[in-house]
Amino acid sequence: MTRLLDFVDPTLDAQRSKTDTMNKQRTQSLDQLEAQMRRVARGEMRAPADAAKPGFNSVEALVRLLTPANRQFLAVIRDSKPQSVEELARLTGRASPNVTRTLAKLEAAGLVHIQKIGRRKVASPAIKKLRVDIDPYTCNDRFEFS
């Protein structure tokens, strides 16, 4: 049996058209990743097409990143569209170093885009919806971004 968790923003979901597609991702243990990288380095296989995309060694790691505080943080980015780290810090009540660190984690996970405009860093949402498909019997969990 598969359990499906949806982290849905109702305003963005209403804007989705039927042509929107989900970007499917697979979890991979660190051992599996290392073995795959070694096979690629030895020339036994080509690098996967999605090798440069963000990945997680477990769905749990992704869910741990989506704390209530970080989800509020993402909502501020989506709703207020801050034009700098300092503005985002002011809107969230966080210190600038904390904002910078959180943005780096969210960008590495593929949840936000960071654009440099002059000396400013401007964050914008990278996804509308995240769907997690958990297989309770194996580590073959999957998640999808849209």
Q: Percent of the chain, pLDDT > 70?
A: 73
Strand extents, DSSP E, the chain = 3-8, 23-26, 112-117, 120-125, 129-134, 142-145
Domain 3-15+58-145 of CATH type 1.10.10.10 = yes
Pairing of strands 129-134, 142-145: antiparallel
pLDDT in tens, 18-62: 334 445 555 566 677 678 778 888 889 887 776 656 555 567 778
C-alpha 13/C-alpha 34 separation (Å) is 37
In this structure, of 12-21, 105-114, 132-141, the range with the lowest mean pLDDT score is: 12-21
Residue 68 backbone dihedrals phi, psi, to 5 degrees: -55, -40
Tell which residue, 59, 74, 67, 68, has the closest CA to residue 12: 74
pLDDT band for position 75 (cuts 50, 70, 90): very high
Residue predicted with more confidence, 64 or 24: 64
Query: Can you read off the two tokens belonging to residue 77?
Result: 């980015």
Coil/strand/helix, residue 65: helix
